[in-house]
Structure 1
Amino acid sequence: MKSTNCFSLPALRLGLAILCVCLANASAGPALRADDIAIVPNEFSLRGSQASHGVLVQRIVDGVDTGPASEVQLSSSDESVFTLVDGRIVARGDGRATLLAEANGQHAEASVTVFGMQDEAAPSFRNEVLPIFAKTGCNSGACHGALAGKGGFRLSLRGYDPLTDYLTITKQARGRRIELAAPGRSLVLAKPSGAIAHKGGVRLEVGSPNYQIVAAWISAGAASPTDDDPIVERLEVLPERARLATDASQPLIVRAVYSDGHSEDVTRWAQFASANEAVAKVDEAGVVSVIGPGEGAISAWFSSQIKLARIAVPHANTVEPAVFANAPRRNFIDELVLAKLESLNLPPSPLATDEVFLRRAYLDTIGTLPTVEEVRTFLNDTSTDKRDRLIESLLARDEFVDYWAYKWSDVLLLNGTKLRPGALKAYYEWIREQVAA
């Protein structure tokens, strides 16, 4: 593969930026020994007496996360601050302590801060109850989140309107959906738990953590969402990138960072999906299972926020390092492409012939094939810079602006049914100006 020079056109700039982001973390070859282990995340902050957080201990190879370490031993430097229960950090008292990890003679540490143990706040409708309904599918499009709802009970899709959902649950149907004195008799618990017939089946097991949170919210008075509630500003999915072997598995941790600065492990309420199930699948708990070689992405959704974790699985090829070291390079794009190929254990393709290069250049830049005369002229040209000159000439043609303005209009979702004619025209003309600049 041989890449061409980089040009300062906005459309190409954006494309190159995307490529750089995707390739920036490509690493050296996969046949490496384990160098270290790391605790993920590397610091924890737990608020409240009910707080807990998942822990991952990952193998690090030449700076690359290669999956969970084996034979891991975890311990707390101060069990009055936190203990470990089933591999999770559980808050015990305000203070700071250190999480210690040991695996096959290697060691790692992470700081743990616990605060607010005396603050017995009731569960938040916005940040705990609604995420439970989303995780169980109660407010999905196939259930009560449908436009018409189900059985006279309608919730906003995936909880995007907390106040309306609160009023629907607590005020409609003469308030029968909530029993403050007996939470278990509330319809929002009795139906999904199976205590009362429910067409959607059992969604909340009696006594489960999610059931207890909803019950605690009801028994504490079923407080409404307020403008003072912290809002999720962003998600973190850990590990963000990993290079895994075929048939490996990788648990994920999803952490929400709120507007008041605190963060929480929300893995149990996140919803997961795989963008490429030929490479990796993911279950409801966020455990990734590798299916085959290639690259995949796992999306995590929580409270209207989405974040991706990227999975790379090298192919089972034998490629000598010299193949990559001696591969032809013309610019930084070639370096990035070769690094990506090496990380996936894929040998680089041979250089394209003049015929193939000509066809690809025309299709990629102006969306048409060259004429017979253009083919003959290019093939008969013996100069060493003919490919560069061809690209320059294609980028200067009106067809380039037409073709790429159309492609970017599609990417940016220009739609005559969504915009007024004047606005649509102005937007399209702006896109053309940027492509032609």
Structure 2
Amino acid sequence: MAPKGGKEDKEEIWPYKITIGICAMHRKATSKPMRAIMKKLIECYGQWVDFFIFPEQVILNEPIENWPLCHCLVSFHSTEFPLEKAIAYVKLRKPYVINNLDRQYDLLDRRTVFKILSDNGIEHPRHGYVIRGRPNEPDTELVEHPDHIEVNGEVFNKPFVEKPISSEDHNVYIYYPSSVGGGSQRLFRKINNRSSWYSPKSEVRKEGSYIYEEFIPADGTDVKVYAVGPFYAHAEARKAPGLDGKVERDSDGKEVRYPVILSNKEKQIAKKIVLAFGQTVCGFDLLRANGKSYVCDVNGFSFVKTSTKYYEDTAKILGNQIVRHYAKTKNWRLPPDMPQPPILDLGLGDDPPMITTPSGKLAELRCVVAVIRHGDRTPKQKMKLVVTDERFFALFEKYDGYKKNEIKMKKPNQLMEVLELARALVSEKQVGE
């Protein structure tokens, strides 16, 4: 459906705006991250591109011949999204596609995900499959013992992880050995402030198909990586949902996450995943253990929840990619005043650019670390001690400590109370001796 524009023998100025269509379920297409990214994209590239959102009722109920036309398509699968219709639309209209739609089927089967990771030399947990009741697939033999299972002859000692084959099923179980009390931790999509709960049951599920993974001890955290193109990745760490099941939230109710700097090897993993799965915008989960990084899940199209810097970077990468694509394919003149994407993704080749250090070596600047301490204050003199005298508890109760779980005493009269109590205790101790 791409309109005619350029001439093969001569570059032409930008004749019309490129239209970007957002084809996804309404909740996803109008989410805060999507709105922030598209707003920034129009701010930076509004001279050359525009966008619109496919109405959800059109996606679900109208034949693809009635879907709106666009030059560039941003589309991704989620619950109830008709992926097959979107693929048929691409075949019919042939827009420039940001995330390969056919390859999104790969993300729906955890077996396929692990096979692609293996084929591309990406570290992932050791695993085995148990298949039950699937057409044209023989059932798998599983032998269960108190502290381990055998899957097709391969042994998985507890603790191990049990995941449904379908990546849309988030009911993941972790089974513990009897030496630590047994039982299992049952993970699920966050509900209020819970992401998992403990069950005393130690037996694996007997119905359905599952993938069993060797448990990777990652010190209670997992790393969420959000790649945009082969050379850009934003990473955050969070408390692992299997730790105690309680979701840590900040004052705004958002899950607490911490910025993470990826190693060069992890950046290469991000690049491999983007290219191997054909997903320009792609999230995945990393586990760090024993000096290695393991990919345990690939989630496909996903955005960082709260990061203005990420929104700006993503908008510039996508805007630059789209404008460059049409400048090249239509033989249009590349706008000289077009904003450039982040330095890790210039869209100019297969390798990110390097900078020269003062010593003359080429290196990639990863971060700047500064240790700053003001010098016009006397360091605080602190002492921590455990007290058992009832008078301290009475003081704690007097200032509502049981309601706040702490008290802060800064006023002179409050400090005098503590001083007098301390003097009384010292005096009593001296008399007793």
- Asked whether the two chains share a fold, i.e. TM above 0.5, the reply is no
Query: Shorter-normalised TM-score: what interval?
Result: under 0.3
Please report the TM-score for the alignment, with normalisation by the length of structure 1: 0.24
